[in-house]
Structure 1
Amino acid sequence: MGCKEAFDSYKFNIFDTAKELKYEFVPNKHCFSEYDNILARLKGYDKDFIHILMCGPTANVLVADLTEIGFRALDLGHLAKNYDWQKKGIDINANVVKFTLPD
């Protein structure tokens, strides 16, 4: 789970080798304002599904709430962006401000 604009901008997707992918997109900004709706959507998945969340501070709260009710969930933050930049040869350290801007 993340914002569509971010995933559309990646040339290299770290999750391309996954057996199965299901994307749930959230707002690029102020994601927490949609929290109840997002949580309800994620609760609709089978509990064997692993939720990988990349939606700012909202991801941290979602992981806590989902794991409390028996789901598997990870907050992987900027992992997908980091992977894309590494594969493109972009120096993350030299671009740290740009790297942490909202996707």
Structure 2
Amino acid sequence: MTLLSCGYRNTSDRMVILRCVGPEQFFLERVVFPFELLSFQCPPQSVIKIWTHGLGGPELVETVQAQELLVEPPSGPAQLEALAGASCNDVPWPQAG
């Protein structure tokens, strides 16, 4: 399975939970503390959801595709094909608000 190298920076002053769901039962869940940078790998078709805990319970902060969190350009033809034309240059770090 081809994996992308991704990163997420929590710039909020609250802890968030990053959940990454991908094909073939891929699942990753990590707590990201305020101002922490989390580096991780996931399949190209993964969806990342950032959650926090509010007064009413869990709150979805944002949803992003794995290609939006790339920290390095694809290294081989399989990764290039998986991205299907998505640009990996100058991608801003998604941040929890």
What is the TM-score of this pair, normalised by structure 2?
A: 0.30
Query: TM-score when scaled to structure 1?
Result: 0.29
Q: Which has the higher helix share?
A: 1
